[in-house]
Structure 1
Amino acid sequence: MDSGHLRNLVKNPCGNDQFNHWEIIENGGSMWRVEEMPGDCGYDFPDSSILTYFVTSFEICLKEQTIDLVSEGYTEEILDSVQPKIEVQDWFSGRKDCGCNYELHVSLLNGNLEPVNEFKAEPVNLDPDNEDCIWRKNAKQMGIQTDDDQQDTRAAEHFNLGPVCSQEGQSCF
């Protein structure tokens, strides 16, 4: 593993490569899409190097990605003894003409892909009539903890719900 511990382990986080590395769980309404910034979202992303983003529909859209920490260069010894912190960050927004419902779930998994630690962000409901639907960041630091009663952490699962537009249209994600 390289010494640059701060790196994004999510593959294709912004849809540059369409939906490669993602498993689509639900694809309701007009389905998942990838758009170029700012697209129908209407809001510029805070980092100008981000050129694309995932877009959902007015019905439930879910996607997930499982990250094998060992194949990413974290040895079992490092995972078991150092127990590095994992920082989770995800960005979302609504549209100027349509709010959204958004949820983020992240699980740290053992070698049998069973959850040993979970983070579920508070659900967010953005209403453009009452709030600014600009890009927002969801962030959480999760610890890898092991004990005699559970198997060691070996993977992380990133699961997104929405955003789901509260009226017909598309939402930015």
Structure 2
Amino acid sequence: MGKKNLLQNPCAIDGMAGWEVTWNGGDGWKAEHSALGCRPFKEANPEAKDDACWTTSYGLCMKKQTIDLEFAGIVGDYLDDQRPEIRVTEWCGSRYDAGSEYHLLVRLLNSDLETVDKREVTKTLPADGQWHKVEKAFIIYGPGVRFIEYSHGGKDTCYWAGHFGVKITCSSVTVATGSGQDSSSSS
């Protein structure tokens, strides 16, 4: 049995639903049904169900989701005692005609929404129209994790009006639960 993705609307199929926009620079965020000016996403990831993605503009665009792990069915005692692997993945890409900056920040938070641990990725992508998989894992982290804040975005490097910035799709947050169970089955 596969692990359950704890993010809502992880591939832009439902536009911005489930996401809180925290920066909307330039011409803001845009959801695209297919990645304009970029290699089709299904060519980079044949397992993808769709070619939808988000794209950014010339000013910084960031959005986030905060996952309540208990609401997702992952008990605090399990997190504290077992410290299961928490894995985040997503794909980012650039257009053929414009480079882009990409940012990912994932924070593990306690019940007071204070940071227990974090992973951060910042990349400058060339104007090559290619997709890049980003993966990070939390393996050793402190006790008290109750929430995960997932924030991502970027901008183009050309400062062009429109939506020539980084493209993002197939975002994922999973929590290992052992015995092949998905992350919502732990007790």
1:21 to 18, 23, 37: 18
Corresponding residue to 2:137 among 106, 117, 141:
141
Alpha-carbon distance in 1 for matches of 2:125, 2:81: 41
1:71 corresponds to? 71
Task: Give 1:98 deviation, angstroms.
Answer: 0.4
Percent identity over paired residues: 32
Q: Take 2:125 and 2:9, find their aligned partners in 1: how far apart are those partners? A: 25
- Give the Cα separation in 2 of the matches to 1:146 and 1:137: 27
- Residue pair 1:35, 1:52 contacting (<8 A) in 2 also: yes
Name segments (4+ residues, structure 1) moved above 2 Å.
Answer: 143-147
1:101 is aligned to 2:92: no
The Cα of 1:166 is off from its aligned counterpart by: 1.2
- Secondary structure of the 1:138 match is strand
Unmatched 5+ stretches in structure 1: none
Structure 2: runs of 5 or more not aligned = 169-187
1:42 aligns with 2:32: no
TM superposition score normalised by structure 2: 0.80
RMSD over aligned Cα atoms:
1.6
1:133 deviation in Å?
3.8
Secondary structure at 1:81 match in 2: helix
C-alpha distance in 1, partners of 2:16/2:74? 25
8 Å CA contact 1:94, 1:126 repeated in 2: yes
Aligned pairs, how many?
A: 160
Match of 1:55?
A: 55
The answer to whether the 8 Å contact 2:91/2:133 transfers is: yes
* Distance (whole Å) between structure 2 residues aligned to residue 41 and residue 83 of structure 1: 42
Corresponding letter in the other structure for 2:22: I
Distance 2:156 2:141 in 1: 37
Q: Is the Cα contact below 8 Å between 1:100 and 1:165 reproduced in 2? A: yes
Deviation per CA, 1:21-72, whole angstroms, max 9, x where unpaired? 111011011110100123x132111234123111110111011110111111
